[in-house]
Structures are given as structure tokens and as C-alpha cells.
Amino acid sequence: MPKRTDIQSVLVIGSGPIVIGQAAEFDYSGTQACRILKAEGLRVILVNSNPATIMTDPEIADATYVEPITPEFVEKIIAKERPDALLPTLGGQTALNTAISMHEQGVLEKYGVELIGANVEAINKGEDRELFKGVVEAVKAKIGYGESARSVICHTMDDVIAGVGILGGYPVVVRPSFTMGGAGSGFAHDEEELRRIAGQGLTLSPTTEVLLEESILGWKEYELELMRDTKDNVVVVCSIENFDPMGVHTGDSITVAPAMTLTDREYQRLRDIGIAIIREVGVDTGGCNIQFAIDPADGRVIVIEMNPRVSRSSALASKATGFPIAKIAAKLAIGYTLDEVPNDITEKTPASFEPSLDYVVVKAPRFAFEKFPLADATLTTTMKSVGEAMAIGRNFTEALQKALRSLEKKGSQFTFVGPVGDKDELLATAVRPTDGRINTVMQAIRAGATQEEVFEFTRIDPWFVDQLFLIKEIADDLAAAEKLHPELLAEAKRHGFSDAQIAEIRGLREDVVREVRHALGVRPVYKTVDTCAAEFAAKTPYFYSSYDEESEVAPRTKPAVIILGSGPNRIGQGIEFDYSCVHASFALHDAGYETVMVNCNPETVSTDYDTSDRLYFEPLTLEDVLEIVHAESLAGPIAGVIVQLGGQTPLGLAQALKDNGVPVVGTSPEAIHAAEDRGAFGRVLDEAGLPAPKHGTATTFTGAKAIADEIGYPVLVRPSYVLGGRGMEIVYDEARLESYIAESTEISPTRPVLVDRFLDDAIEIDVDALYDGHELYLGGVMEHIEEAGIHSGDSACALPPITLGGYDIKRLRASTEAIAKGVGVRGLINIQFAMAGDILYVLEANPRASRTVPFTSKATAVPLAKAAARISLGTTIAELRAEGMLPKNGDGGTLPLDAPISVKEAVMPWSRFRDIHGRGVDTVLGPEMRSTGEVMGIDSVFGTAYAKSQAGAYGPLPTKGRAFISVANRDKRTMIFPARELVAHGFELMATSGTAEVLRRNGINATVVRKLSEGEGPDGEKTIVQLIHDGQVDLIVNTPYGTGGRLDGYEIRTAAVARGVPCLTTVQALAAAVQGIDALNRGDVGVRSLQEHAEQLTAARD
């Protein structure tokens, strides 16, 4: 069926800020969908609150709304734009939930908007556990196989004991009914455990009911990605097998595509079930994924769940196979059928086929437990990873080892030197799934564990276990060989060993191994991902390396620019950097270069096969990059390698690349050093006459104490050479300084601790700027809402700055220019300043694209990353102004007075983590970055923009109700005015006794509530924590008390997270929130597209 002609415009809902479980993959899928729909001639209206996305670039959609994804705001957009249709399946759970809620509220009907790509009934059938069980039963009745896990509902202990028999014995899962967040559930391995858990569960359950379920822990886990069109054609795009057996969330598992350990009969059975389910659920068009568990003992198949939408797995499957699921889902949603859509990669064959892989794909998760030291690191069915790396190899071992080194984390690669450890201890440790369990397993193998033992303890499939043994045997051969002969070296490379690993085993330097390898002619070739196992010629240069015979890199004539991406998402280095890399690729392609992207993150737009002229899906290590540069230098001229857009990952390679003769363009490695090295940067500041906070470095407590005594407490301490503020802390007294030094494992004579004067009460300012050697273009000046001391990535900020005047901007401009010039920047630089009193201190400078580049670009309607890429290759700012990429006059520091105010707010992953006792982790902001994503609120005044940013990040600010206030002593003065405003807006205040006293003395009435530590009152008065849990509190203001009194605050804040109550942890945030509440109560909050904003800005500039 060809394209529908009754749809002229479509609203696409994005997924909002990056959070754990919903990340950059939805930018990838949404961007694909928007581009396709636009190319089909439809007017595309997009809503997404996340500015760090490619999809929210103004050229991707016709009308782009960076507004909160709430039914309220989306309705405003619908009322304004009147789209014919709404496509909700490409923006994750956020988009789906918003669409469903708008359907239920009758909004879609009211405006005559048709839901396409999914229907409400199908969504409910797929998502509702009980309904889905019915679907699986219906499928079994039709085709004879497929079932859900067996379960029994029990109301007494006798039921429970009898239930075990019905389920076929231990272990069993106990799930009490209607408890919050799965409270009281657990695994019972014997009757004693069962009586304990089920007894507690029956008590906890308000209906005295527990569900007893058979345990499928340790079973093999699989996933199929399917697509269906309106003519009921169904294809399975990809099968994925989890290396980690059942019990670990698939997002936290190492996964492999295609499935490795299924016979055709078993695979076809899964395929039959999958197809029957997609039909039974009634997914009209588009993609969905279905998860299965298989009993390794007898092959029994259990259907676990389905997602009736594009998911993280579909992004992975798209990258793994070259089959662009989201793009095709968008085409199917507007009426096309699979046979009418061509396969982009072959161009000649249709999309109605199933990709065949002649390689193996391994995905490995990237965790950030080091940011949450109190969180329990056990992997469970709740996803905890913050990113992932994917690698492609011609066999499993190669792909696995590439994936592990792509994680770019100390210890992520297998190591074969050092003490072996105790086998039994290692095996016992490996029972518990954690980040890095695979390394523990390898150590157990080194310590003499047998294949049978490894399987017994971990339930990892014996085939995978044997592959680990294979890797270990090669490591043994490498260690035992008299010298590195070519056969052995080739064999090791064929199984994914890096030069660094071989060097470690042989006791050599990595570069020596590389030299030997090159001398022996052992180099990788590059193969193509072509969807069809070479059956047809591929037109798309999407490459991966392998130690095989024949390379497929074609010669080219145009000069190539190689752009190094940012690798797996992690806290501190996320989608923002991918944004800049993608922009560079677009800009340089337009400027006549052949762009070559290198990255290993499957979630991103940069690793879409049509973003760049060529794509290398490869790890971002020196070895892998050098080989790509070599391969491309054989293919044609290379104009240069760009390292300054992908964050610290490529930046860290700059010097080594240059030392190996690679032309690094843009800011030189020496200039990077001048900004990153403290001593060198200090000299730059001295020469420019710019002040930095007093500081010093020490390797012992005595040394640190001497510095702190001299510059005065509080001090900011941190280990050197760290990212994202890792281990950074504000220390208020000597005692804490001593314990900090004692606890820190990262301090050594070669790695000193940095002690800085902490600027209390300073305003922190971020600047993004371009410099070409002659001219400075001030991209944007952002004023942080939170004071200095909170990591810039976690702080909300406003652009243009809301309290800085023309004189301040002038000083910032002069300082920025002096630093850019002193360092020697060619491209982007990001500088953090602190304004304390009237002194402008320089905190740090990053000679690269920063996290805020997408935000600044969108707020000022200027493509900074594109400009940076051009400057790197020699174009001047004057030339860019002339060709229109940069404004003819002025810059981000001279925005017109009526320019819209943009507010960025960070989104934190608190609700994902629990400590080992199952309690939430604390939510206080600090110098260490912990946010996973960000949203942007944009409006004509600050209050409204701030309110929008809060709505986008955490849900709408309350406009009335009860506000609880409890602040540290130092905040008590500044709290008075905003508190009074809250009362003026009709809020009823509650406070702990100390805060209430201050409020009352200032004529503000506040009800005193009991602290948790005070316990319940004699007449049953509840504590604040109970009140929060009871839903009695609508807004919480709780600032941490420094080192003392933490505990109460901790309980309050974790309760707020659990209940989803807005919780402000700084007085500055309270002041901003009051402005937001004020705007909301005035009731004049509208929506405006980025295109409209840009028009206004451009008009004002001309």
C-alpha cells in the first residue's frame, strides 16, 4: 500500500532527558523518523525537552518544540499546530505514556489527531502484565507453544507451601500484591526461606496476598526484534542472546547478536511465537521486541515481555544489522508496506527480508557505580547502566574483547598477569552478577576453574564459557612463546587481543608490540556491515575491523576528515558530545570533505550509517584509531583528525596521535596540554593577569593541611587527572580533610591531591566560545542557578545570564579571549568562571566542545559545533560570518534584551539506585557530577523558562499546597524572602522547629512538623518522612547541613524521590522556583517553536 494521502502533518514525541533506561537511542530513532517523514513531504512537528539531541536541531523538523513532554504542554502544541496524526512509538516509554494519557483524556479526539504506528489497545495488551499473559495463552492455543512463567496466587501459608508443589519445586519467586516498588519480594530456595519471605509478604500486602512464581533465574535469555506492516507482513530483524543468564536486566547484560546457541528448530519456534504475539497484540505497524527465557535443561520457552514500540534493543539491532528499524517504522506508520521500502544498504533489495549477519556483535554495558559509592552494585532486573559500547568482529572472541576495551574503563579488558587469586573465592564472587563479573570469571579460569564449574556457578552458557577458555589459552600461548612470531600474533589478534593486552602479557611496551606487529605485516582489514552476509553488493560504507584477509575500504579522491566520537555514554560524557561530532560531520560534508566517523556507541546518531560519508564502528583506543587512519590513508588523502568534539576520550588521544604522525587539526595537542595541565594553565593565567582561586597540590595529609591552613577553609579537594568531578569534595574542616586523604585511594606521589580555595557564595559562570587565532566569538554566557561548588553538569543555568550586566560580559569576553589566545585554541573552548564579590576567578578551561554546546547553540540559534569544525580546518570566524554560518554582527554575548531566556536543568538518576539495605541513595548535589541528562526550558522571561525546565525534568512545579522547608543555618537568611512569596501564592508552610522559628520571627507562619529523629508524637503526630510518604507534601526545600545533621535530610530527600515530590536542595533553586510558580499562577505559559525563537533572534540581529 503506498503512502497515505490523508496525513499532511504529524506530531512526533521525543523521549525527553537522558535517564537510565531511556537514553540517546531515542534521539537516534527519533531523528531517523523525523527526517524520513519530512522527506516524505509531511509537516513534522516535534516535541522534546532535551536540547542535547540532534532531533531538536531546527532543520530536522518543521516546528521543533523544546518544551516539557507532559500532556498539558503537548496539548498546547496540538492546539497551536493542529497535526493530523501523532506518532508515539519512537520516543520510548515517555512518549508512549504521554500519548496514552492524552488519548484517555480525550485530547486527541478533541483535536482530531489520529494515533499512528500503534493503537491504544495494542499498547495496553503489550504493556499490561495480566493482559499480556492472556495474549501468550491465546498464542499457545493457536500455535501450540509459548507460555508465561507459571504462578499461583496465595492467601495463606498453607496455600504458599502447596503452591511450591504446583510450580514444580524450589526456587520460587515471592511477590506480595500491591506493595510499593516491589517491597517484600524475593527468591526462596527452601521451605525455611519461603516461610520467612512469604510470611513477611502476606503481612506487607494490604490484601494478604502473594504471587508465587516459578523461578527462571539462570535460564538462557533471548530477544527478537520484529516489524509488521499494514498488510500483516512480519519480519524478524535481529535475534539477540544474553551472555548473562536470566536475572540481569537486558540493558545491564552483555548481549550478543545473532543468537549463538540455538538450533534452527528452536530459533524458528521463537520466531513463530514472536510473530503470533505481534499479531495477537495487534501492533498494526512498526517495531516491537519480545524477550524469551529458555530452560537450558530441556528447551522450555517462557515469554517474558514485549515492548510495543521502538526500544533500546531496536537501536542496537539496527546498528548490529544495518536495518534501520526506526526509519522503516516511520514509513510503515504512514502507510507503506515493507516490500515498498528499499533496503538503503543494498539499494536494490526491499526491506521485507531478514538480515543475515556474517559477523558477531557484542554489546557491553557501562556502569557508573563509582559515582554512587553507597549504591548496591548487584545487577538485578532494574537497569542501572548509564551507557553501552558495541563492537563488531568476525567472531565472538574478537567482538567481545573489542567491546570490553571500548568501555574505556580501567580493568574492563581481560588481564592475564598478576596474582591469580583463589579459585573457590573467585567462583563464589562470580555467582553475584556485577559490573565486571566477566573479568572475575576470567580470573577464576586463570585460577584453575573448570568449564563445568564456571557454568555451575554462573549459569553462563557452556559455549560462551568455552570462548572465555579459548581467550585464556591464547593468553597462555602468548606468555609461553619464545618470541612473537607472526602466526601467534595473528591468532591473538584474530581473537581480539589488543596490543596493550599483548604488551602486558609479554612485559613489553604497547608501542613496541605495535611496531613488531606492523613489521610482521599483521594488520586488520575492514569489512562491511551489509545486512545480507555479502549476498548482494553494499552501497553503504559501514565498516568494522577484523584480522581477516580481504579489506573492503574503497579508494576515494576527496580529502577525508576523521572525526573521533565520544564512546559509551557515561555520567559526564554523554549525548552532548555526540551532538557536536554529528554537527561537525554535517558541516564538513557540506564544505566538500569526505567525513569519516569513528565511534563505538550504538545509541547515537553519529553511528547511524548515513550520518557520515563513512562509518567505522570501532573502539576509540589509540591502536584502533591508528589502524583506521592507516586504512584511510591508503584510500585517499586525509585532511585531518578532529579530537576536540567527542569529549575527553578523543582529547586524551591527541598527543599520542600526533606523536604517531597523525595530523590532528584544530587546537593542537600542546595547546590542549596548556589548558589541562595545572602548572601550564597557571602560567597562561599569570601572563594574562587573570586570577584563579588560591590552590596547591599535596601528596600527604600534612601537605594538604598546610595548604588548607594557608588558603582557609572551606577548600575544594580532588584527585588530579579525573573526569566529571570524580572524588571531588568540599571540605569544611581539618578532620574531614584528614579522613578524605585517608579514604582516597587515588592519591599517590605521582597523583597528588589538588586543594583549592572554595569560593563560598560565588556565582558560577560557564562560557562557550570559538577562537580562530585572531577573533573570538563568544558563543554564550551561562549563569548557574546553584552556587559554585556544585558541578556545572549538575547545576541549572540560564542563558543569557540573568543577573550579569554589560560590564561583567565585557570582562568575561576579555578573559575568555586572553585564555583562548594564551592556550592556542583553534575551535571551541569552554571556561568556567566564579564571580565572588567583584572578582572574576577562572576555575578551569576545557579546550574542546563542552557539554553545553548543544544548549548554547539552541538558545542562541547559532551552530557552534559546525563552526568549530570549520575553524579546525582553517576557516576563519570572519569567513563564517560572511557565509552566514555565524551571525554577521555580534555574538552570544550581545544578545538583544528581548532575547528569550533559556534554562538548562540537570536530571539525576536517584530513583535507580538502592543501597545494600534496599534504601534510596542521597540526593544532595555536590562537586562530583552525577546527572545523566538535561532539559531545556525556553520562554520570554526567566520564571516561566525555569518552570518549564522543572516540568521537563521532574514534573510540574506545584502551584499550591503544602511546602516543607528545612534549611541549613547558612541558608536561613536567604530563605526568608522566597518563603514569604510561597505564602503569598497560597502555600501552607511546614518546617522543622529551627527553621519554623526563624520564619515566625520574620512574620511567616509555618506549622512545626516532627523530624524523623524525633519519632512519632504522643498523639500520633507524624514525622515529616511519614507525611511525605502519605502524599501530604507538595514541595520540599531541604538544604544539606554540611557535615552535621545529614541523616534527617537524607531520609527526607530519599522519601521525596520515592514519592516524586519536587525537592529543592539549594536556596537559589528555591528562589528560581518561586519565580516559576509565580509565572505558572499568572497562567500565561505558552509554547513557541525553536524556529520562531530563531526568527526573532535573527531579526533582532539584522
Partner 1 sequence: MTTSTRGAAKAPAVLVLEDGRIFRGRAYGAVGETFGEAVFSTGMTGYQETLTDPSYHRQVVVMTAPHVGNTGVNDEDPESSRIWVAGYVVRDPARVPSNWRSRRSLDEELVQQGVVGISGIDTRALTRHLRERGAMRVGIFSGANWDGVRDEALLARVKEAPQMKGANLSAEVATKETYVVPAIGPDGEAVPIGTAKFTVAAVDLGIKGMTPHRMAQRGIEVHVLPATATVEDVYAVDPDGVFFSNGPGDPATADGPVAVMRGVLERKTPLFGICFGNQILGRALGFGTYKLKYGHRGINQPVQDRTTGKVEITAHNHGFAVDAPLDKISETPYGRAEVSHVCLNDQVVEGLQLLDQPAFSVQYHPEAAAGPHDAAYLFDRFTSLMETAQMEADRA
Cell numbers for 6, please give them: 490523508
Q: Does residue 299 bind partner 1 (CB under 8 A)? A: yes
In the complex, the smallest distance separating the C-beta of residue 235 from partner 1, rounded to whole angstroms, is: 6
Contact stretch for partner 1 (CB under 8 A) within 174-182, 228-236, 567-575, 716-724: 228-236
Is 39 among the residues that bind partner 1 (CB under 8 A)?
no
Residue 451 vs 748, nearer CB to partner 1? 451
338 near partner 1, rule: CB under 8 A: yes
Map residue 886 onto helix, strand or coil. Answer: coil
For residues 42 and 65, what is the distance between their CA atoms, to the nearest angstrom?
Answer: 17
Residue 879: other Cβ atoms inside 10 A: 14
Query: Could you identify the residue written with the cell 482530531?
Result: 112
Specify the residue, 352 or 612, whose C-beta has the smaller distance to partner 1: 352
Nearer to partner 1 by C-beta: 487 or 590? 487
Which CB, 90 or 525, lies closer to partner 1?
525
Residue placing its CB nearer to partner 1 in the complex, 526 or 593: 526
Phi-psi category of 473—alpha, beta or left, where left has phi over 0 and alpha has psi -120 to 50?
Answer: alpha
Query: Using the rule CB under 8 A, which residue among 174, 345, 357, 741 binds partner 1?
Result: 357
| Residue whose C-alpha cell is 609461553 | 480
Task: Tell me which of 137, 272, 370, 844 binds partner 1, using CB under 8 A.
Answer: 272
CB of 568 to partner 1, least distance (A): 25
Three-state SS at 823: helix
CA of residue 784 relative to chain centroid, distance: 22
From CA 170, how far away is CA 903, in angstroms rounded?
54
What is the nearest approach in angstroms of partner 1 to the Cβ of residue 467? 8
Which 8-state DSSP code applies to residue 957?
P
* Residue 271 binding partner 1, by CB under 8 A: yes
Question: Rounded to the nearest whole angstrom, what is the least distance from the CB of residue 414 to partner 1 in the complex?
Answer: 17
How many C-beta atoms lie closer than 10 Å to residue 908's C-beta? 19
Pick from 258, 567, 725, 727: which binds partner 1 (CB under 8 A)?
258
Find the part of the chain contacting partner 1 (CB under 8 A) among 134-142, 294-302, 423-431, 938-946. 294-302
What are 702-711's contacts with CB under 8 Å, separation 24+? 704/737, 704/741, 704/753, 704/755, 705/734, 705/737, 705/738, 707/755, 708/734, 708/737, 708/755, 711/755, 711/756, 711/757
What's the order of all strands across the beta sheet hosting 901-907?
839-846, 827-836, 763-771, 776-787, 797-799, 901-907, 933-939
Candidates 256-264, 579-587, 613-621, 635-643: pick the segment binding partner 1 (CB under 8 A): 256-264
- 132, exposed or middle or buried, with CB in 10 Å at 0-12, 13-18, 19+? buried
CB nearer partner 1, residue 62 or residue 461: 461
Q: In the bound complex, what is the minimum distance in angstroms from residue 349's beta carbon to partner 1? A: 4
Of residues 36, 165, 23, 167, the one with CA closest to residue 91: 23
Region near partner 1 per CB under 8 A, out of 336-344, 405-413, 715-723, 906-914: 336-344
Please report whether residue 491 would count as binding partner 1 according to CB under 8 A. Answer: yes
Our finding on whether 354 is near partner 1 (CB under 8 A) is yes
The least distance separating partner 1 from the CB of residue 1, rounded to whole angstroms, comes to 9
Candidate residues 86, 341, 360, 500; the one interacting with partner 1 per rule CB under 8 A: 360
Give the three cell numbers for residue 119. Answer: 493503537
Exactly one of 358, 456, 686, 709 binds partner 1 (CB under 8 A); that residue is 358
* Cβ-based nearer residue to partner 1, 229 or 252: 229
527 within 8 A of 544, measured Cβ to Cβ: yes
- Least distance to partner 1, CB of residue 227, Å: 11
Residue 46 Cβ vs partner 1, minimum distance, rounded to whole Å: 32
CB of 257 to partner 1, least distance (A): 10
Count of residues touching partner 1 (by CB under 8 A): 60
Smaller CB separation from partner 1, 262 or 449: 262
Which secondary-structure segment (H or E) carries 353?
Answer: none
Q: What φ, ψ does residue 350 adopt, rounded to 5°?
A: -85, 170
Closer of 533 and 916 to partner 1 (Cβ): 533
Return the range that interacts with partner 1 (CB under 8 A); candidates 79-87, 254-262, 408-416, 891-899: 254-262
Work out how close the CB of 116 gets to partner 1 at its nearest, in angstroms, rounded to a whole number. 21
CB 548 within 8 A of CB 822: no
- 743 is a site residue for partner 1 (CB under 8 A): no
**Restricting to residues 437-466, which ones interact with partner 1 according to CB under 8 A?**
451, 461-463, 465-466
* Gyration radius of the chain over CA positions: 29
Per-residue x/- mask for partner 1, residues 384 to 423, rule CB under 8 A? ----------xxx---------------------------
Q: Does 216 bind partner 1 (CB under 8 A)?
A: no
Nearer to partner 1, 296 or 703 (CB): 296
Site for partner 1 in 587-616 (CB under 8 A): none
Which residues is 43 bridged to in the sheet? 9
> By C-alpha distance, which of 535, 117, 539 is closest to 342?
539
Distant-in-sequence, close-in-space partners of 136: CB < 8 Å, separation ≥ 6: 146, 147, 148, 277, 303
The C-alpha angle with vertex 932 and arms to 930 and 937, in degrees rounded to 5, equals 110
In the complex, least distance from residue 352 CB atom to partner 1, rounded to whole angstroms = 4
The answer to whether 74 and 47 are in contact (CB under 8 A) is yes
Name which of 492 and 516 has its Cβ closer to partner 1. Answer: 492
Asked whether position 230 contacts partner 1 by CB under 8 A, the answer is no
Instruction: Report the alpha-carbon distance of residue 411 to residue 638 in Å, rounded.
Output: 34
**Ramachandran sector of residue 350 (left: φ over 0; alpha: ψ -120 to 50; beta: rest):** beta
The 1024-1063 site mask, x for binding partner 1 (CB under 8 A), equals ----------------------------------------
Between CA 388 and CA 375 the distance in angstroms is 20
Give the nearer residue to partner 1 in terms of CB position, either 121 or 552: 552
Binding mask 525-554 for partner 1 (x = CB under 8 A): --x----xxxxxx----------xxx----
Does 352 help bind partner 1 (rule: CB under 8 A)? yes
Please name the helix (run of DSSP H) or strand (run of DSSP E) that holds residue 283, with its range, or none.
none
List Cβ<8 Å contacts ≥24 apart for 886-890.
Answer: 886/770, 886/777, 886/862, 887/862, 887/1098, 887/1101, 888/1101, 888/1102, 889/1101, 890/1101
| Choice between 352 and 966, CB closer to partner 1 | 352
Which CB sits closer to partner 1, 134 or 350?
A: 350
The half-sphere exposure of 645 on its side-chain side, counting CA atoms within 13 A, is 34
Would you say 219 or 946 has its CB closer to partner 1?
A: 219
> Taking CB under 8 A as the rule, does residue 572 contact partner 1?
no
Contact stretch for partner 1 (CB under 8 A) within 83-91, 472-480, 928-936, 1074-1082: 472-480
Q: What is the enclosing helix (H) or strand (E) of 879?
A: helix 877-883
- Helix 853-860 and helix 864-872, axial crossing angle in degrees, nearest 10: 110
569: left (phi over 0), alpha (psi -120 to 50) or beta: beta
Helix/strand/coil for 1028: helix
Exactly one of 268, 803, 1005, 1007 binds partner 1 (CB under 8 A); that residue is 268
Q: How far is the CB of 308 from partner 1 (least distance, A)?
A: 21
Positions in the binding site for partner 1 (CB under 8 A): 231-233, 235-236, 258-265, 267-268, 271-272, 296-299, 337-339, 348-350, 352-360, 394-396, 451, 461-463, 465-466, 470, 473-474, 477, 491, 527, 532-537, 548-550
